[in-house]
Amino acid sequence: MKIILSYILAAFLLLYGSAFAQERKAPAYPLITHNPYFSIWSTSDSLNTATTTHWTGKNQPLLGFIKVDDQIYRFMGKGDEVHKTIKLAEQRDVEINATQTIYKFVCGSADLQLTFTSPLLISDLALLSRPVSYITYDVKSNDGKPHKIKVLFSASADVARNKPSQPVMAQKVASATLSVLKAGTVEQPILQKKGDDLRIDWGYVYIATLKNTNAVQYITTSTEAVSSFINNDYKITVKQDTDIVLNTVIPFGVVGNTPVEKFIEMGYDDITPIQYFHTNLKPWWQNTGFINFGQVLAKSAVEYPGIIKRCQAFNTSLYKDAVTAGGEKYAKLCVLAYRQSIAAHTLVKSPQGEILWLSKENFSNGSINTVDVTYPSAPLYLIYNPKLMEGMLNGIFYFSESGKFKDNFAAHDLGTYPLANGQTYGEGMPVEESGNMIILVEAIAKAEGNAEYARPHWKTLSRWVNYLVNEGFDPKNQLCTDDFAGHLARNANLSVKAIVGIACYAQLADRLGEKQTAAKYREIAKGMVGEWIRLSGDADHSTLTFENPGTWSQKYNMVWDKVLGLDLFPQEVYNKEIKFYLSKQNTYGLPLDSRKTYTKSDWILWTATLAVNQKDFEALIDPVYKYALETPTRVPLSDWHETTDGKQVGFQARSVVGGYFMKMLYEKFNAR
């Protein structure tokens, strides 16, 4: 009987084991993640069942094949269906860490571990600024016998163009230590396009590997790439066309039970990534001693072992800290958010010598450096590198202080990506953006232990805070960051932002030794709180707008009162709100407010941070994790989704998921 059961179990695992092994870990899997133009994802739980794409959803195919003795297996991408001799590698697992996505495959008699590493260690701006990812192959025999193994990596030139119809040139590049292929458009229209649903069509994609790996590199059409691997016919067949792929064959020789590791670099030189008030800016890496991109690739290759160790250590520490702050599901959400948030930015230096960490409003409207995108993104950067947080504010301060933006409140944005030449959004969000800027400056002061960043901007901050005092408490009909919901007058959550912003200004004044100013604005903020409680009160919760019973909204702006220790709102206000929110949840989360059933996941995690115990915190964030695993919309994590069915409403691949780190920020700022 035991023998029969064993056979049944073995058959069950054979039929269904891979399905269980490939349990979803994300709506889309980050592969190459550096900036809004160099960002490649897999939208399938199995790497070899879908074409890899840019975050916008347009195809940017990466193909992977492994030859074990005489049998070829496909482990990445699609496109070899005409070659009937090729088998599908069996994906056994996929793991996502902060800086890595790791796949494990069985390829007949060999095992393959495939690791994508984008070394986005944001405490190290020199490393962060290098747009180079590593693709690592670890192979070994799984049957105790030696096998001859080689791997093909094939990258489409689609990575370097906006549309597949654009002609591309490709070539081999001379290097002392590396084998290098390079491709880019013939036209090279640098900074000639702006907008949302766009891919880069200037600069060059590079594929490089160490010469001592004995790799063979060649350029073909997409159909020839697979045939050449089958037939061992590695020759360049095309150099300029609309159908070009860059091929690298890595021989591993005869491999036994001991794993053998080799890696490829994939990099992108965008030459001139940003225009800033009509001045074209160079990539940040050019400020760190590199003259050309070949040097970037060479340095990255030499430093590979150390960088991988640093990434692994960071993966471990981030996850551990996130578990401590909010539990395992919370930690997994933070892991999903990390690379996505960073890759929605570009790092450059302003003509004034300041850091600029410029976001793109992905699948929103394509704005660059939007203040109410910076605001929700902030916790991640406040934790790991407040200088990048400064880089998110510097351009907005310059816009006002140069006289280019003349209003007495903060601007909404700096333009449309990649052109940061001045606000292009149709109208301002006066209370929203002024409150955001002041709150974030105080958050920087808290993170850095001093208010020196505020000092040169004090006149500007003073102008903005007075706008909040005069206009912020009972806001007129205007937009807030949730602009998709439309205009709203007497917005109670926006009023909270104004109150918190005024209190943050008071704290900054205190840090700078302006005691009378601090006392004045502290009194103003405290005085507003009682009136806010009265005007927004509705039995067991607060209302969406003042004196509007029967309505409600998430008061996520209140979280800064707790995180920054402002001591404005009584604890009973938090408690009442959390208890009410727990009664309003749907399958995939807490709606944004009483008007619709959609939500913003970043705001839920801010709202959850108001909870006084772990049970209530987890009750609010668990449905968000459920959404991430079950949403039918296979795109880089959307922050705007339906709480009823988990479908994306809009937005994807945005930086605002950096807001998931709010609970970690609270723990850091309030560590005992």
3-class state of residue 63 by DSSP:
strand
- Strands 240-241 and 168-173: what pairing? antiparallel
Q: What whole-number distance in Å separates Cα of residue 595 and Cα of residue 159? A: 41
Query: pTM for this structure?
Result: 0.95
What confidence score (pLDDT) does residue 671 get? 84
Question: 71 is written with which tokens?
Answer: 């049998």
Give the model's pLDDT for residue 52.
98
pLDDT tens string 173-213? 999 999 999 999 999 999 999 999 999 999 999 999 999 99
Poorest-pLDDT segment among 123-127, 168-172, 287-291, 312-316: 287-291
User: What would the mean pLDDT of 574-581 be, rounded to a whole number?
Assistant: 98
Rounded CA-CA distance 380/658 in Å is 5
Domain layout of the chain by residue ranges: 27-271, 323-583
pLDDT digits (tens, 9 = 90+) for 415-455: 999 999 999 999 999 999 999 999 999 999 999 999 999 99
Among positive and negative, which fits the CA dihedral 664, 665, 670, 672?
Answer: positive
Question: What's the residue count for the chain?
Answer: 672
Q: What are phi and psi of 133, to 5 degrees?
A: -110, 155
The tens digit of pLDDT for each residue in 338-374 reads 999 999 999 999 999 999 999 999 999 999 999 999 9
CA 339 to each of CA 34, 62, 122, 273, 361: distance values in angstroms, whole numbers, following the listed order? 8, 19, 10, 19, 16
Would strands 648-650 and 62-68 be described as parallel, antiparallel, or unpaired? unpaired
Q: What is the CATH number of domain 323-583?
A: 1.50.10.10
Contacts of 40 (CB under 8 A, 6+ apart): 31, 32, 33, 52, 53, 54, 60, 62, 159
What is the rounded average pLDDT of the residues 168-174?
A: 97
CA 201 to centroid of chain Cα atoms: 22
Compute the distance between CA of residue 430 and CA of residue 464 in angstroms, rounded to an integer.
9
Give Cα 156 to chain centroid, integer Å. Answer: 23
- What is the DSSP annotation of 469-506? HHHTSS--SB--S-GGG--BSSBHHHHHHHHHHHHHHH
Residue 556 has pLDDT above 90, yes or no: yes
Closest C-alpha to 441, from 510, 491, 505, 529: 505
What is the rounded CA–CA span in Å between residue 476 and residue 468? Answer: 12
Count other C-beta atoms under 10 Å from residue 432's C-beta.
29
CATH topology of domain 27-271: Beta-galactosidase; Chain A, domain 5 (2.70.98)
291 DSSP 8-state letter: S
Maximal C-alpha separation, the chain? 86
Q: What is the mean pLDDT of the chain?
A: 95
Give the containing element (helix H, strand E) for 265: strand 260-269
Radius of gyration of the CA atoms of the chain, in A = 26
- Residue 79's pLDDT band, with cuts at 50, 70 and 90, is confident
C-alpha 29/C-alpha 119 separation (Å) is 16
Q: Residue 224 is inside which H or E element, if any? A: helix 222-231
Average pLDDT for 284-296: 94
Measured between its terminal Cα atoms, the distance across the chain in Å is 59
pLDDT tens-digit series, residues 453-472: 999 999 999 999 999 999 99
